[in-house]
Structure 1
Amino acid sequence: MKGKTSIVMLTYNELHLTKTCIDSIKQHTRSDQYELIVVDNASSDGTKEYIRELEDVVFIDNEKNQGFAKGCNQGAKRATGDSILFINNDTIVTENWLSPLKEALFASERIGMVGPVSNYVSGPQLVHPSYTDVKELPAFAKEYTAARKGQRTYVHRLVGFCLLVKRKLIKDVGFFDERFGYGSFEDDDLCLRSLLKGYQLQIVHDSFVHHHGHATFHANQETNISTLFAENRLRFLDKWGIDLNLIAPHPYFAALLPKDAVCVLDMGCGAGATGLELINRQSVDMYGVEADALKAEIAKAYYKEVIEAKADEYPWSEKETFFDAIIFSDVLEHMSDPWELIAQAHASLKPGGVIICCLPNMMHAEVLLPLMTGDFTYQDAGILDRTHMRFFTPKTMSALFPEHLFDLVNTQPINVQIDQNVQLFFDEVARVGEALGFQTKALSDHVTLYQLLIVARKKGSSPMG
């Protein structure tokens, strides 16, 4: 493990919280492990006087509020440690909080930032503690972290309330972007820039830090949290055109992937959220194909290889009988010839390898009922997404996987319920159709089927289960 950590703390009033936070750092951190740098953004409640009286503290006294990003940058520029920890003053650290963070940070050259779990934080760092009073915090944190020793989760985003960063990353990526002013999204921005440089981010589950939440914002009567969040979100979207909060894995694919699959191709991988979930679940080498240049670059932080291309441009011949699994996530309906794409994918699968795909159903009532009245209007999203080139029914979905090439080993419906009267209408249509000799019995079920998950296995022996 590396040496000293520079702890950078911003303060703006809320003296009682600052005192509690600093006391907890002193109690639970060896003095030779860290230096404390406090940046005060023009407090008026005695905070400045309190900090000046502390020994072994580097104090940066701002005459006016410089905001979170600039204040953190001021502190980071004074840091001398191998790592820099940005921490809010409305936090309480707990026993053995720093060591697991540093162990995770320096476990690999690829890891650039890590963060603890907490009671008050957005995203997967959030846990739901049993304590209701901070007096119960030490006992909870000790039991919780002991049960999760060494547990780590790779992520695309860490929250800046307590963020440990390699000094090398700051040199490579740069400081916080000061356009975000008082705060919000400057941490998302730093995470994204780090990913684009190839750094990885981890949640450290055996480090717990209590967070009161938004104390500095509440102390600043001139700042409206909702307005600030909305404005900075627009700044982030204007800069990047992507929202890290919306990068989410496909909710079903991880459970369908064989647990002994090693080489996996993710067609239309986006920023790599699905692959990241798989990496966190099992030892797997992820390969990706993504047409969006920014998303492809983000995915490269975790994937073994990502090709920036459309799905039908992938060089299949270079990966003959190579993959244990190929994932088509909302891809096939966008292709002019999905049947040819499946045939090419078949050649790239090892014997016994699987294709996992998700296909929209044209027979869902939201499409079928308007079609019966002559309405077939494309939409910005959904089954009638205007970018869809091919349309499928449950029967034609299965036909994508010829019986002489594949065994269908799993099909899972994703149903979206419909209005009761619409359901009754289609039930009656099915009944009348059957009475007239038409094969309409399945219609009642098909009109609620929104998407179908399919797992098709390439014929041939394989050790995979």
Structure 2
Amino acid sequence: MYKVTIKAGMPVKTSIIILTYNELELTKKCLASIERYTDKDKIELIIVDNGSSDGTREYISNLPDVKVILNEKNLGFAKGCNQGIEAAGGENLLFLNNDTMVTKNWLTSMLRVLYQSEKTGMVGPVSNYVSGAQMIHDAYQSLDELESFAEAYCAREKHHTKRVLRLVGFCLLVKRSVIEDIGPFDEQFGYGSFEDDDLCLRALQKGYSLHIALDAFVHHHGHATFTANQDININQLYSENRQRFTEKWGTDFTYFTHPRPEIAELVPREAKRILDVGCGAGATGLELQNRQPCELYGIELHPLAAQAAKGYYEAVLQEDVEEVKLPYPEGFFDCIIFADILEHLKDPWRVIETYSSYLSPAGSIVCSIPNISHAEALFPLLLGDWTYRDAGILDRTHLRFFTPQTVRTLFPEETFDVKKQSYTYVHVDERVQLFLQEITRMAQSMQFPVTQLPEQSRIYQILLRVEKTG
């Protein structure tokens, strides 16, 4: 059922598509915030109801200047959004959850980012309740503080943006031309979860960029639709849709999209040309581009991840790290990153030696390597167990193993100067920790130089920045 009342002759710029399933009071707050903070002449409202039974259908049917689609049953998030797309007349499509409240200049700020470049395909805001880079922690304690917080925060972040590999669908602004190019939401994801990841990945594969408008804040209540529908098990739905996503793309693409801020922090801020070895989809590279002007080059064997990284790296070689012949002159790079790569190689010593010739004088290598003396590997070994796994320190694809001491063998003193060695830690069971402390005391009583065991058993990854000297 459609109910359409739009002023004739008014050009529509942005179609705001809102899905509802019960939770009428939240919908009212959402619509009131749009009314207060959005220029009505530049938008159209489309509300798709998925079979509400709490008076929502009657309420939205009586709203003026709104396109209403009433479904007899819950057709899911993806299907509802696609119905909204078909009904939309705007040049831009904004998918907005009904458990949100927008704030001052929200849409203006997002549109500014959307049209900063032809290749910008999607934009999202920051929020108090969202996963990933859009999350603002400890924003406020009550809705009474929302307006003042949002205004102050957005003023500090005015015209600031952040490029990312993933945006969350709770509030997602997309050019209509992009949807026409990559297609609408994939309806196999049903009620929700991973349909936004899938849409983002299709945009990346086509070369579009995704951005967060840091000066646009949208309050999000969170999971209202799932709360309103007791028949949906959110954990089961997430698990099933993650499996669908993995099967569709032939891999769990989220593995390639996690940024490594601890790695980015070690990269010199003056580095202009950076080689990211095993770059994945380029999440860490994006962290660097968001921080400093630089040219990124990558090596990535996985085709899906490499294609995503090509959207913003100068070049991505889809070849084996140990076999590739780099098409760059010696001294070309200011920094080379090996983030969890060296342990997968047959001869990481030779790789370091070979790649170092492409470093500029005083250029840096930044790397992260798992610590084989962490209790995750050490304690089972003491019990006679050395079982490879799908992930972790004993990942079945790991070929080489290092400790905080032996990792330095990769970087000979005559060629490199270690500028920083730091660590990430993973909690160790208290009983295991006490056991290792007892071993240390026993070893010392027998004059064995074992002093570092309890501390070293907590170190999960070794982080290094070395500088070329010779």
Specify if TM > 0.5. Answer: yes
Q: Which of 270, 278, 285 lines up with 1:260 in the alignment?
A: 270
Change (3 A) 1:62 1:320: same
Shift of 1:270: 1.8
Gaps of 5+ in 1: 461-465
CA 1:50–1:280 in 2, change beyond 3 Å: closer, same or farther? Answer: same
Q: How does 1:232-381 map to 2 (within 5 A)?
A: 232-240=241-249, 241-242=251-252, 244=254, 247-364=257-374, 367=377, 376-381=386-391
Contact kept in structure 2, 1:41 and 1:66, CA below 8 Å: yes
Within a 5 Å distance, the mapping from 1:412-451 to structure 2 comes to 412-414=422-424, 419-429=433-443, 432-433=446-447, 449-451=459-461
Give how far 1:59 is off: 2.1
The answer on 1:208 being equivalent to 2:217 is yes
Count of matched residue pairs: 455
**Given residue 192 of structure 1, which amino acid in structure 2 is its aligned partner?**
L
Structure 1 residues 332 and 215: alpha-carbon distance in aligned structure 2, compared to 1, 3 A threshold: closer
Q: 1:190 matched to which residue of 2?
A: 199
The whole-number CA distance in structure 1 between the counterparts of 2:394 and 2:177 is: 48
Q: Is the 8 A contact 2:49 2:70 kept in 1?
A: yes
Which residue in the other structure is 2:174 paired with? 165
SS at match of 2:435: helix
CA contact (8 A) 2:276 2:336 kept: yes
Task: Give distance in 2, aligned partners of 1:208 and 1:440.
Answer: 53
Q: How far apart are the structure 1 equivalents of 2:442 and 2:48?
A: 71
- Shift in Å at residue 177 of structure 1? 0.4
Q: Tell me the residue number matched to 1:463.
A: none
Contact 2:253 2:305 in 1 (8 A): no
> Does the 8 Å CA contact 1:7/1:36 hold for their aligned counterparts?
yes
> What residue is the counterpart of 1:66 in the other structure?
75
With over 3 angstroms needed to count, the CA separation of the structure-2 counterparts of 1:125 and 1:370, relative to structure 1, is closer
Tell me, in whole angstroms, the C-alpha distance in 2 between the residues paired with 1:16 and 1:450. 47
Matches of 2:305 and 2:159 in 1, distance apart?
Answer: 30
Deviation of residue 144 (structure 1)?
A: 2.0
Q: Deviations over 1:181-220 (max 9, x none)?
A: 1222211111111111111111212111122222233333
Correspondent of 1:113 among 117, 122, 125: 122
Q: Percent identity?
A: 53
In structure 2, relative to structure 1, the CA distance for the partners of 1:346 and 1:282 (3 Å cut) is: same
Farther off after superposition, 405-414 or 379-388: 379-388
1:78-227 equivalences under 5 Å are: 78-128=87-137, 131-227=140-236
Per-residue CA distance 1:419-442 (angstroms, 9 max, x = gap): 2222331343355355xxxx7676
Partner residue in 1 for 2:25: 16
C-alpha distance 349-72 of structure 1, shift in aligned 2 (>3 A) = same
Q: Which amino acid aligns with 1:208?
A: F
One-letter amino acid matched to 2:183:
G
- Matching of residue 35 in structure 1 with residue 14 in structure 2: no
| Aligned CA-pair RMSD | 2.7
228-237 or 97-106: which moved more?
228-237
Which residue of structure 2 aligns with residue 456 of structure 1?
A: 466
3-state SS of paired residue (1:252): helix
Amino acid at match of 1:411: Q
CA distance in 2, matches of 1:366, 1:64: 49
Cα 1:338–1:7 change in 2 (3 A) is same
Distance 1:398 1:113 in 2: 43
SS across alignment from 1:312: coil
Describe the SS at the equivalent of 1:22. helix
Correspondence for 2:13 among 1, 4, 9: 4
What per-residue deviation string (whole Å, max 9, x for no partner) do you get for residues 228-250 of structure 1?
22322222222232153883223
Q: Which amino acid aligns with 1:33?
A: K
Q: CA deviation at 1:255?
A: 1.4
Question: TM-score normalized by structure 2?
Answer: 0.88
Distance 1:381 1:58 in 2: 49
CA contact (8 A) 1:320 1:349 kept: yes
- For the residues of structure 2 that align with 1:412 and 1:136, how far apart are their CA atoms? 39
Structure 2: 5+ residue stretches without partners: 1-10
8 A contact 2:49–2:57 mirrored in 1: yes
User: What are the Cα deviations for residues 303-342 of structure 1, in whole angstroms up to 9, with x where unaligned?
Assistant: 2222212211232353421111001112122222212211
- Aligned twin of 2:8: none
Once the two structures are TM-superposed, the CA of residue 373 in structure 1 deviates from its matched residue by: 7.3
Per-residue CA distance 1:368-424 (angstroms, 9 max, x = gap): 666677665544444443322233344542232233322222222445555222233
Taking the aligned partners of 1:195 and 1:364, their CA distance within structure 2 comes to: 37
Name the CA distance, whole Å, in 2 between partners of 1:174 and 1:383. 40
Distance in 1 of aligned mates of 2:286 and 2:230: 40
Q: CA deviation at 1:82?
A: 1.8
